[in-house]
Structure 1
Amino acid sequence: MGAEKIVHDEKAQLDFSQSMSYGDYLHLDEILNAQHPLSPAHDEMLFIVQHQTSELWMKLMLHELRAAIGAIAGDQRADAFKMLARVTRIMEQLVSAWTVLSTMTPPEYSAMRPYLANSSGFQSAQYRCIEFALGNKNAAMLKPHAHRPDLLAQVEAAYRGPSLYDEALRLLARAGLDIPDDRLQRDWTQPYAASAEVEAAWAAVYRDPHQRWDLYQLGEKLTDIEDAFRLWRFRHVTTVERVIGFKRGTGGTGGVSYLRKMLDVVLFPEIWSVRTAL
Structure 2
Amino acid sequence: MTDAYDPAKEGAQMAFDGRMSYTDYLSLDAILTAQHPRSDAHDEMLFIIQHQTSELWMRLALHEIGAARDQLEQGAARPAFKMLTRVARIFEQLNSAWDVLRTMTPSEYTTFRDDLGESSGFQSWQYRLIEYAVGNRNAALLKPHAHRPDLLAALEAELAKPSLYDVAVGQLAKAGFDIPEAVLQRDLRQPWQASPEVETAWRGVYADPARHWELYELAEKLVDFEDYFRRWRFNHVTTVERVIGFKRGTGGTAGVSYLRRMLEVELFPELWALRTTL
Give the aligned residue type for 2:270: E
Using the TM superposition, give the Cα deviation of residue 12 of structure 1 relative to its aligned residue in structure 2, in angstroms.
7.2
What count of residue pairs does the alignment treat as equivalent? 274
What secondary structure sits across from 1:14 in the alignment? coil
Distance 1:36 1:253 in 2: 25
State how 1:176-255 maps to structure 2 within 5 Å: 176-255=176-255
Pair 1:78-2:78 in alignment: yes
Q: 1:234 to 1:7 in 2, by over 3 A?
A: closer
Q: Is 1:260 aligned with 2:253?
A: no
Cα distance in 2, alignment partners of residues 33 and 131 from structure 1:
30
Cα RMSD, aligned residues only: 1.5
Q: Find the counterpart in structure 1 of residue 44 from structure 2.
A: 44
Task: Give per-residue Cα distances to partners, 1:45-100, cap 9 Å, x unaligned.
Answer: 00000000000000000000111111111111011111110100000011111111
Contact 2:8–2:14 (Cα < 8 Å) also in 1: no
Superimposed CA distance per residue, residues 145-187 of structure 1 (whole angstroms, 9 cap, x where no aligned partner)? 0000011111111223211110000011111111111111110
Aligned mates of 1:269, 1:23 — CA distance in 2: 45
* Aligned pairs (5 A) from 1:105-120: 105-120=105-120
* Matches of 2:23 and 2:43, distance apart in 1: 26
Q: CA–CA distance in 2 between the matches of 1:45 and 1:39?
A: 10
Q: Which secondary structure does the structure 1 equivalent of 2:13 belong to?
A: helix
Deviation at 1:112, TM superposition (A): 0.5
Distance 1:131 1:158 in 2: 10
Q: Does 1:270 align with 2:264?
A: no
Deviations 1:188-207 (A, max 9, x none): 01111111111111111101
Separation of aligned partners in 1, 2:165 and 2:36? 39
Corresponding residue SS for 1:13? coil
Unpaired segments ≥5 residues, structure 2: 1-5
Normalised to the residue count of structure 2, the TM-score between the two structures is 0.95
- Which residue in the other structure is 1:3 paired with? none
Q: Give aligned-pair identity as a percent.
A: 65
Determine the C-alpha separation between the residues in 2 that align with 1:168 and 1:12. Answer: 48
Alignment of 1:123-142 (within 5 A): 123-142=123-142
Q: In 1, Cα distance between the equivalents of 2:30 and 2:207? A: 53
Post-superposition CA distance 1:11-34 (Å, at most 9, x none): 872112231111110011110111
Residue equivalent to 2:92: 92
Question: 1:169 is matched with which residue?
Answer: 169
Q: 1:10 to 1:246 in 2, by over 3 A?
A: same
Alpha-carbon separation, structure 2, partners of 1:254 and 1:124: 17
Q: Distance in 1 between matches of 2:156 and 2:261?
A: 23
- What is the Cα deviation at residue 9 of structure 1? 4.9
